[in-house]
Amino acid sequence: MTSRLWVKLFLSTLLLGGVVTSITGFIVRWDEFSSIFMPFDFLEVLSVLFWLFGVGLIFSIISQMGFFAYLTIHRFGLGIFKSHKLWNGVQVVLILFVLFDLVYFRYNAFAEQGDSLLPYIGLAAMLLAAGLITAFLKVRISTKETFIPALFFMIVVTTIEWVPILRVNEYSWVWLMIFPLIICNAYQLLILQKINEQSRMHRQQLDQKKNIPLKK
């Protein structure tokens, strides 16, 4: 990936994180922010929007750090296990383990006596659904071998990025963070192939220019 395309990916993901968090923030924290709309207070709305956008930039940076970390881990995994099938098997085990953790361990840590298990299952199911949709879309623009790595990234890496908020277990923050993470992660995963193709074309053009003989 050329530096110009990397900067383009970084800035577009940054903007996406800010916008998604701004929208999500007003939805999940409407009870808190509704008072600034009735009556409408422009400066107050602007300040809240600016704050949410800034938080979204932080979420986006976390997402990008996780994405590039996974690209490195994926290459290491292929190098260690020497086989796509074996490495995919390891990733499937980790996916199941993380989904189990999201339900069982969070329920044991935060549920009070008599609380239902369904909200914890629902949270894991939502992440699984987002991962499956993204993985299927990745297969459509790439190859079937990308399904498991895409699913692993969307579930395992997203959960790791989500851990600081999951440990606090504050309801509005849990939802405020997860949607930007899912969307930013899916965006990076789905656009990577296009950016790599653009990068290859750009390098080919540069090589062609270098090989053009100088006129005497």
In this predicted structure, what is the pLDDT of residue 168? 84
In this predicted structure, what is the pLDDT of residue 127? 95
In this predicted structure, what is the pLDDT of residue 48? 85
Burial degree of 142 (CB within 10 A; 0-12, 13-18, 19+): middle
Residue 207 domain flag: no
Assess whether pLDDT exceeds 60 at residue 215: no
Which of 103-112, 142-151, 183-192, 207-216 is predicted least confidently? 207-216
In this predicted structure, what is the pLDDT of residue 214? 47
Q: In total, how many domains does the chain have?
A: 1
Q: Which amino acid is at 127?
A: L
Residue 21 domain flag: yes
Residue 215 domain flag: no
Residue 206 domain flag: no
Assess whether pLDDT exceeds 80 at residue 201: no
In this predicted structure, what is the pLDDT of residue 6? 81
In this predicted structure, what is the pLDDT of residue 116? 86
Residue 26 domain flag: yes
Question: Residue with structure tokens 């881990």?
Answer: 73
pLDDT band at 212 (very low <50, low <70, confident <90, very high): low
Assess whether pLDDT exceeds 50 at residue 154: yes
Residue 203 domain flag: no
What is the average per-residue pLDDT within 33-54? 80
Residue 76 domain flag: yes
In this predicted structure, what is the pLDDT of residue 216? 46
Residue 152's domain comprises 3-196
43 vs 57 pLDDT, higher one: 57
H-state helical runs in the chain: 3-28, 30-33, 42-81, 84-100, 106-110, 118-141, 147-152, 158-168, 171-211
Residue 201 domain flag: no
